[in-house]
Chains A and B, each alone.
Chain A
Amino acid sequence: GESVGLHLPTLSVQEGDNSIINCAYSNSASDYFIWYKQESGKGPQFIIDIRSNMDKRQGQRVTVLLNKTVKHLSLQIAATQPGDSAVYFCAERRPGGYQKVTFGIGTKLQVIP
Chain B
Amino acid sequence: EAQVTQNPRYLITVTGKKLTVTCSQNMNHEYMSWYRQDPGLGLRQIYYSMNVEVTDKGDVPEGYKVSRKEKRNFPLILESPSPNQTSLYFCASSPYPGDSNEQFFGPGTRLTVL
Interface residues of A (CB under 8 A from B): 1, 3-4, 6-8, 32, 34, 41-46, 49, 89, 91, 93, 97-106
Contact = CB atoms under 8 A, between A and B. Distances in A.
Interface string B30-45: 0101010101111111
A49 B102 contact: yes
Nearest to A3: B39
Contact size range, B = 20 to 34
27 contacts: A1-B88, A6-B39, A6-B40, A8-B40, A32-B101, A34-B101, A41-B107, A42-B107, A43-B90, A43-B108, A44-B43, A44-B105, A46-B100, A49-B102, A93-B101, A97-B48, A98-B31, A99-B33, A99-B48, A99-B94, A100-B45, A100-B48, A101-B33, A102-B59, A103-B35, A105-B41, A106-B42
A98 B97 contact: yes
Interface string B43-71: 11100101000001011000000000000
Contacts of B31: 98-99
Which applies to chain B's interface (DSSP): helix, strand, loop or mixed? strand
Interface of B: 4, 31, 33, 35, 37, 39-45, 48, 50, 56, 58-59, 88, 90, 92, 94, 97, 100-108, 110
Contacts of B41: 105
Given A1-B88, A7-B40, A42 B108 contact: yes
